[in-house]
Amino acid sequence: MLNIVLFGPPGAGKGTQSQKLIDTYHLIHLSTGDLLRSEIAAGTELGLRAKGLMDQGMLVPDEVVIGMIDSKLKENKDAVGFIFDGFPRTVKQAESLDVLLDQNNTAISGMIALEVSEEELTKRLLLRGQTSGRPDDQNEELVRKRVQEYNTKTAPVAGYYANQGKYHAINGIGEIEAIFTEICDIIDSYATQLKA
């Protein structure tokens, strides 16, 4: 199974590249935000638990998110693979994900990180705020805070996968197609290793 962690700060281009990868490799997109929304909409036990916490302004605990990912893996046993987007965000989550995938007889093939400078991210997010109407993308102070939070909390996850020899960084600035080609080259090398 081809399992990719697509990594990068808000505004790095993960959404754009995810869609292209899904179309090309027929992978299932696992976005924790989408998962939470669909579980809540379906009124599942995990969804109700998550909603209760979110309504109190609390973060959804890792075990609830891992439970949702587990459900998705079991629903899609015949999948070619998955793209993990927005998860794992911490080393603890990465460790839990490894355990879960191992229980499902698979593993992370690799992490692809889109690297973009803080200035470029701020510019992109503020521009996105003008077109998307997302309030969190319209306030420069909030945007910079989100990027800093990413750098502090999420960046150590890169080290976790680097220690496993699964980390690949790509310059996220440039033509979308050129970046996509670079990502495909890395994924094709994963696919070759899986067949070996």
Is 5 annotated to bind a ligand? Reply is no
Sheet holding 81-85, edge to edge: 28-31, 81-85, 2-7, 110-115, 167-171
Cα(124)–Cα(120) distance, rounded to whole angstroms?
6
With beta carbons less than 8 A apart as the criterion, state whether 93 and 158 touch: no
Instruction: Say which residues have a Cβ less than 8 Å from residue 110's Cβ, sequence separation at least 6.
Output: 4, 5, 161, 166, 167, 168, 186, 187, 190
Is 144 annotated to bind a ligand? Reply is no
Catalytic one of 20, 92, 124, 146? 146
Is 93 annotated to bind a ligand? Reply is yes
Catalytic residue at 89? yes
Catalytic one of 51, 72, 74, 128? 128
Buried residues in 61-84 as b, exposed as e (16+ CB within 10 A): ebebbbbbbeebbeeeeebebbbb
Is 125 annotated to bind a ligand? Reply is no
Is 14 annotated to bind a ligand? Reply is yes
Catalytic one of 14, 20, 92, 166? 14
Tally of CA atoms within 13 A in the half-sphere of 58 that contains its CB: 10
Is 8 annotated to bind a ligand? Reply is no
Catalytic one of 89, 124, 144, 153? 89
Is 15 annotated to bind a ligand? Reply is yes
Catalytic residue at 144? no
Query: Considering Cα of 73, then 22, then 19, then 182, what sign does the dihedral take?
Result: positive
Catalytic one of 134, 145, 166, 195? 134
Is 134 annotated to bind a ligand? Reply is yes
Is 49 annotated to bind a ligand? Reply is no
Catalytic residue at 146? yes
Is 103 annotated to bind a ligand? Reply is no
- Which element (helix H / strand E) includes 173? none
Is 174 annotated to bind a ligand? Reply is yes
Which residues fall in the annotated binding site for AMP? 32, 37, 58-60, 86-89, 93, 134, 146
Which residues fall in the annotated binding site for ATP? 11-16, 128, 174
- Catalytic positions, please? 14, 89, 128, 134, 146
Which residues fall in the annotated binding site? 11-16, 32, 37, 58-60, 86-89, 93, 128, 134, 146, 174
